[in-house]
Amino acid sequence: MSGPILIFDSGIGGLSVLEHIQTKMPAKDIFYLFDNARLPYGDLAEQTLIDGCVALIIKQVAQINASVVVVACNTASTLVLPHLRKRLTIPVVGVVPAIKPAAQMTQSKHIALLATPGTVERAYTKELIREFAGGCKVTLIGSSELVLIAEEKAKRNPINLNAIKPILAAINGTDIDTLVLGCTHFPLLRQEIAECISHPVTLLDSGEAIAIRVASLLETINMSAKGKMNKVGRLTAGFTKKIDKGLALTLADYGFEQLECVSVDS
Ligand code: DGL
């Protein structure tokens, strides 16, 4: 229980969560596990996703003696959290699309959820909307293409806004005033997304909320950075598939010191 925080995502989406966790807990070591061999998750069958994520995360938790698991992926969180919690004794934190704050914030009572095709289809998401956004019209937009565009950005390849505009076409010309970024990849395209929407819209994600939850858990189990304020946490990344040079450079900019391959076999 004394090891690093394990952050998990299919790809670079968890970086939008990592930034918030680092701000709150700069001294804590972090291991970021990328299941990039199976990206995009939004197109995977539910059972495939559950089995693959659970096996990979359980193995890595044991390997690094993780203190907390952060499933920094909405698509996986909507399915795997109960399965992980059954198998692990350490805390498991997931991401929930920011539907509730969006419903509280909207003036027009028309919000949109931009997520992966898997997330927008999930019973979990429908329940979230029923429970917290009953008084709102909710436009659902599912896109794996946008996930891949975010990956390209992280590889330092140029982004064409004309590829993003059609994905967001359902927003323009409407009274939608609040857009939930319900995939952790999308805050990394915040600026590009805003540029493709022709009227003012508030973009909401869950990165800070997760960091607050993780910080409170670590304090509760008495493993905060107290007494080690001068230490800077060590960042390690593990991949299920070899990454290209552009992404390695981006990760170096984030402060990752070590990149390693992780086997998907249990
Ligand atoms: N970053 C992930 C999410 O939050 C999923 C991206 C994917 O489709 O692999 O949903």
What does the pLDDT look like over 196-213, one tens digit per residue? 999 999 999 999 999 999
- Substitution candidate for ligand 1 out of 44, 73, 189, 239 with most atoms within 8 A of CB: 73
* Candidate from 147, 148, 188, 241 with most ligand 1 atoms within 8 A of CB, to mutate: 147
Contacts of 9 (CB under 8 A, 6+ apart): 17, 32, 33, 34, 35, 71, 72, 73, 76, 184
| Mean pLDDT, rounded, for 82-96 | 97
**Buried b / exposed e along 23-34 (16+ C-beta atoms within 10 A):** ebbebbbbbbbb
Interacting residues of 130 by C-beta distance below 8 A, sequence separation 6+? none
Does an H or E element contain 70, and which? strand 68-71
Task: Please report the pLDDT score of residue 258 as a whole number.
Answer: 93
- 41 confidence band (pLDDT: 50, 70, 90): very high
- Compare 77 and 264 and report the one with higher pLDDT: 77
CB of 35 closer than 6 angstroms to any ligand 1 atom: no
Return contacts of 251-260, CB within 8 angstroms, 24+ apart: 254/15, 254/18, 256/32, 258/234, 260/236
Tokens matching residue 216:
């409170």
CB of residue 206 inside a 6 A radius of ligand 1: no
With a CB cutoff of 8 Å and minimum separation 6, the contacts of 47 are none
Percent residues over pLDDT 70 in the chain: 95
What is the rounded average pLDDT of the residues 30-43?
96
Share of the chain above pLDDT 90, in %: 92
Ligand 1 and 186: CB distance under 6 A? no
User: Is 185's C-beta closer than 6 angstroms to any atom of ligand 1?
Assistant: yes
Structure tokens at 156: 């330092």
Query: pLDDT at position 225, please?
Result: 46
**Domains along the chain with CATH numbers:** 5-95+208-261 (3.40.50.1860), 99-205 (3.40.50.1860)
Which of 53, 73, 136, 196 is catalytic? The answer is 73
**Residue 42 in contact with ligand 1 by CB distance below 6 A:** yes
Residue-level pLDDT at 264: 78
Alpha carbon distance 151, 185 (integer Å):
8
The band of 64, judged by pLDDT with boundaries at 50, 70 and 90, is very high
Active site residue 183: yes
Q: How far is CA 111 from the centre of its chain?
A: 20
| Close Cβ partners of 169 (under 8 Å, ≥ 6 residues apart) | none
Cα 69 to ligand 1 centroid, rounded to whole Å = 16
Question: 265 pLDDT exceeds 80?
Answer: no
pLDDT tens-digit series, residues 203-244:
999 999 999 999 999 886 544 445 455 678 999 999 999 999
Q: In what order do the strands lie in the sheet with 235-239?
A: 92-94, 68-71, 5-9, 30-34, 235-239, 256-261
Residue 143 CA to ligand 1 center (angstroms) comes to 10
- The overall average pLDDT reported for the chain is 94
- Whether residue 136 has its Cβ less than 6 Å from ligand 1: no
> Does 182 score more than 80 pLDDT?
yes
Region label for 68, one of left (φ > 0), alpha (ψ between -120 and 50) or beta (otherwise): beta
Prior bond of 40 cis (ω within 30°) = yes
